[in-house]
Structure 1
């Protein structure tokens, strides 16, 4: 627990100042996190089969390139180029010609895994940057949902958790922790939004929206836990002592942001 707390303090001291500064410093941070997240997805897959070095290098370069393209884009103009996606697919399919190579045995499943991982990482992490460009307060609102929900889900589960939420996916998560985290995350984030962002919004709509996002965040956590279980790992990496890897910290936030963008499009 001590190691976990120290790591959390260090993360806060790095992330929060850059979050408020924004601009190029925050963009560089998100680019580094994107590359790290892509590396984690590649690494867990390589526990079963190694990728050709060229495909890994291309993956990291694509992540960096996509982050550069995202800089200064607004939430309404953000899009991934069809030309870029087509190029990505083509680049990853060509190495399937190495399928007879004894070392790599690279096939269509590997190509699809890399394409899916790359598109997912670029959309997820670049949306954090795009949302920061759009509104710092909106991003703080989503961070509050994620952090408060995760924190109180852990605390509630530790003290009163008895009923397993999804024991085959994440044995330590409980129904009580899930409910406690969602309720507290909803309360804190709703209070922030109503007092800081838009006091004129319908409180009922705000509460329901925040509740929905908090639930989605917890479900996102379970999705990533399922991915880790599929590959037989406890964490995506050991980069952050006591916390695991980048994706272990961003799993809930990724789903919360994706759901928030969906809600914005519907309202």
Structure 2
């Protein structure tokens, strides 16, 4: 028995630092006095602590980290190098976080002013990185390596989903280009069927890759992949559509979420007292309400500035446009000021204004600001609950000092989705467009009827004085299909 005790204490002496030997009793006595359980000896003579939190079996002589009292701890090196102080760590983290904050702001504004295509590239990169981070937190590396098609299927489903969603947007917003191109026309006409067959191929490949002993893991990955596709890729698709509808519908939701996040922090540390939700202990009711008021005020002022620029309010009709070239369009009526009577003020009163002239967009921004303040934060709470489920601090380390991309975009996805639905329901003006007319003519008319349509439009434009008589003569002489059918 003495031999085992000697071996054990030699191992403990080897793992302790030089300056910790004299303080063994002093460091252990407080825990004994407070009623903490002493270490117990297992069958092989090693020691372990009787604690419910120690859920992993550890050999008695295999501990790598020890405190001054000789007990195993985390994040302590065996070397004698002095540990970095908490202040230095916080300082370094703050500097890194600040630098990358300004880098992200610079990239965001540079891409937005450079043109819509650059913003689309940024959004695409964000959704791919976020998808990668969400997929990674449920992955088991050892099992993923033994099942070589697991990661391949994840990326295949991402690619097929993006093909479907991006194709839908391109066909909808650029019908006048896609439907008149001989190469692109078959892909546009049969886009949904092609997308469905791509998914079916992935589904069949998944079923064929199932291996005995790994069923639970493989079906978990399959379900997790589809959840990530819905929560990230599908919602990012609607953000893409916001860009096509006009830069303001992309920029405003993004800025409202950022503004709300900043003022929730400022108001919370200033006069926050009441905890809001247990998932995020630092969130307070006072910060929640204060951020709502500040977001409405800033959203109102920001909208008043943005809607003066056609580059922001015009739908995309030229992907090569930028802030300097601008865009030309007939403004949506929501941006045109109207005169409204102020309620509850008698008309004969002269001291107070009885009417106010504002654009309807200022009323809509109140709704959008309220959603960004009261509902969008629950996207962040959802992400917090997800991280607690997997016992992780961040989704990744894609952005130094900030964690993963998903940590920064958790509220943006649901806010962008809401902005699209709200715009389509209450703001969008539905009228015939060149693209929709061409689509109807191509899909609903025969070749002979299409020729007649062209001739009819030409005659109408001639009668309106928009084209000359030579155009009619040219069409009559060269559109042989119509001549033969007569």
TM-score bin (small chain): 0.7 to 0.9
Name which one, 1 or 2, has greater alpha-carbon Rg.
2
Conserved? CA contact 2:387–2:395, under 8 Å: yes
**Structure 1 portions without partners, runs of 5+:** none
Distance change in 2, residues 1:68/1:207 (3 Å): closer
Equivalent residue, structure 1, for 2:297: 187
Cα–Cα, structure 1 residues 60 and 70, in superposed 2: closer, same or farther, change >3 Å?
A: same
Match for residue 199 of structure 2? 88
User: Cα offset for 1:159?
Assistant: 2.8
Task: State the shift of 1:29 in Å.
Answer: 2.1
SS in 1 for 2:276: strand
Give the CA deviation at 1:120.
3.1
Q: 1:17/1:101 Cα in 2 relative to 1: closer, same or farther (>3 Å)?
A: farther
Alignment of 1:53 onto 2:151: yes
State the alpha-carbon separation in 1 of the partners of residues 171 and 408 from structure 2: 25
Change (3 A) 1:27 1:196: closer
In structure 2, what is the equivalent of residue 10 of structure 1? 103
Residue 131 of structure 2 corresponds to 38
Q: Cα–Cα, structure 1 residues 67 and 180, in superposed 2: closer, same or farther, change >3 Å?
A: same
Higher relative contact order (CA 8 A, sep 6+): 1
Alpha-carbon distance in structure 2 between the residues aligned to 1:73 and 1:161: 49
Instruction: Calculate the TM-score normalised by the size of structure 2.
Output: 0.49
Quote the residue 2:115 is aligned against.
22
- Deviant stretches of 4+, over 6 Å: none
Q: Which residue of 1 is the match for residue 274 of structure 2? A: 163
Partner of 2:179 in structure 1?
none
Q: Aligned residue pairs: how many?
A: 264
Cα–Cα, structure 1 residues 87 and 60, in superposed 2: closer, same or farther, change >3 Å? closer
Is the Cα contact below 8 Å between 2:239 and 2:420 reproduced in 1?
no
Matched-pair contact (CA < 8 Å) for 1:92–1:114: no
Partner of 1:153: 264
Q: Which structure features the higher share of helix residues?
A: 1
Q: Equivalent residue for 2:383?
A: 224
**2:247 is equivalent to residue 136 of structure 1:** yes
1:164–1:175 contact (8 Å) kept in structure 2: yes
User: What are the ranges of 5 or more consecutive residues in structure 2 without an aligned counterpart?
Assistant: 1-93, 176-190, 308-334, 336-357, 427-486
Q: Does the C-alpha gap of structure 1 residues 56 and 147 become closer, same or farther in structure 2, counting only changes over 3 Å?
A: same
**Alpha-carbon distance between aligned partners in 1 of 2:269 and 2:197, rounded to the nearest angstrom:** 47
**Mapped partners of 1:15, 1:204: distance in 2:** 27
> Structure 1 stretch 85-94 or stretch 124-133: which is displaced more?
85-94
CA 1:92 to 1:121, structure 2 compared with 1: closer, same or farther past 3 Å?
farther
Q: Kindly tell me: are residues 92 and 46 of structure 1, through their superposed partners in 2, closer, same or farther at Cα, counting changes over 3 Å?
A: farther
Q: Quote the RMSD (CA, aligned, Å).
A: 3.0
For 1:247 and 1:110, the matched residues in 2 are separated by 19
Secondary structure of 2:376's match? helix
Task: Report SS of the residue matched to 2:282.
Answer: strand
The more displaced of 176-185 and 195-204 is: 195-204
Partner of 2:283, secondary structure, is: strand
Instruction: Please give the TM-score of this superposition, normalised by the length of structure 1.
Output: 0.84
**2:349 corresponds to 1:238:** no
